Amino acid sequence: MLGRLFAMIVKELLAILRDPRARIILIVPPTVQLVVLGLATTLEVKNVDIGIFDRDGGAWSREFSERLAGSPNFREIRPIHSAGAMRRAIDNQEVLAVVVFGQGFSGDIAAGRPAEVQLILDGRRSNAAQIVSGYIFAIAEGLSGELGSGTGLTSSITTHWFNPNLDYLWFTMPGLLVVITTVLGLGLTAQTVARERELGTFDQLMVSPLRVPEILVGKMVPPVLVGFFDATLYVIIIPAIFGVPLRGSVPLLYLSLLFYLLALVGVGMLVSSIAQTQQQAFLGMFLVAVPAILLSGYASPVDNMPGWLQIVAQGNPSKHFLVVSEGIFLKAMPPGDVLANTWPLGLIAVVTLAASAILFRARME
């Protein structure tokens, strides 16, 4: 029994590790993905071009403009001289926003009257526009404060826990650990059974004394090992190269990762046992992986989803593991909270693995 299982595991490992190219594939693309995706998938808004349509030309509009130019978030400040030019600049996406000073702007301020700055934003990129409007609000507030406006009675002090400078990379990196593991784990598993079926080796396994649980376990081992390998790579690279803190317990991360990988293997195996061909397995994997990632909280917070979809998202293993990964990297998440997000992974693994074992058997009837 152990001999058979061992032979099966060795064979499965060889199937993915034998090819020298395959060995490189396990290291290079995940690293490149981590770097490229880490740097590219940012929801921050920097280097924005904005326009200034100054119909006032007074001291205060110039002051305001200089403060805009001094902001690190803006790249180019483009002067605009007519309403038509403003329309064209926005339409053609040359600028994301235009700050408009009305004719009496400086006069109003000097006279102590309420002054207004018009801000026109390109709603096609509503997310970026919103953030840019936030930057400009802050500048206005600063100016306003210096003018002696505001009450001065109360104030607030803001602290960002876990990520004091709100560095977006601190969020993406632990998130990518989840995303890339998902793609890798599902991809490796979904192909295996469909591939054997297409090549005819599946019959060969079925006539051998191997039992269904032995075949399943044999197929589970490589994705789990590869997942651990790449996760270890990330646990080293992310703090060392990207400077993201790893504050929590690494053993807890690995424990949760184990259950996450098992859940992925279960889902992948299910896809694999339904698919007739490798191509269908690939597409099935794709149709599972894309929603899993997009609904994990990586692309946008789960909190923002409609309520019913948040309930559906409970069935998504990536959602739970993302909480753990972010939690352990940034928040030093205590064991209780890690386990609270890990048992759903175990449940998903048990359900999907049992279902695929049943499908496996049914395929023989």
Asked if 101 touches other proteins (CB under 8 A), the answer is no
Binding residues for other proteins restricted to 296-335, rule: CB under 8 A: 299-301, 303-306, 309, 323, 326-327, 330-334
**DSSP string for residues in 293-351:** HHTTTSSS-GGGS-HHHHHHGGG-HHHHHHHHHHIIIII---HHHHHHHHHHHHHHHHH
**CA separation for the pair 170, 157 (Å, rounded):** 22
140's CB contacts (< 8 A; 6+ apart) are 64, 117
Asked if 242 touches other proteins (CB under 8 A), the answer is no
Binding residues for other proteins restricted to 193-212, rule: CB under 8 A: 199-201, 203-211
End-to-end CA distance of the chain: 24
DSSP 3-state of 148: coil
Member of 31, 168, 228, 357 binding other proteins (CB under 8 A): 168
Based on CB atoms, which residue is closest to other proteins, 92 or 350? 92
Find the length of the chain: 365
Based on CB atoms, which residue is closest to other proteins, 233 or 332? 332
**CA separation for the pair 340, 329 (Å, rounded):** 17
Based on CB atoms, which residue is closest to other proteins, 81 or 363? 363
The stretch among 1-9, 232-240, 256-264, 348-356 that binds other proteins (CB under 8 A) is 1-9
Based on CB atoms, which residue is closest to other proteins, 251 or 364? 364
Asked if 23 touches other proteins (CB under 8 A), the answer is no
Member of 89, 109, 225, 261 binding other proteins (CB under 8 A): 109
Asked if 72 touches other proteins (CB under 8 A), the answer is no
Give which of 7, 16, 2 is closest to 224, Cα–Cα. Answer: 16
Based on CB atoms, which residue is closest to other proteins, 337 or 350? 337
Asked if 63 touches other proteins (CB under 8 A), the answer is no
Task: From residue 62, give the alpha-carbon distance in Å to each of 58, 68, 96, 239, 264.
Answer: 6, 10, 20, 44, 58
Member of 21, 72, 84, 160 binding other proteins (CB under 8 A): 160
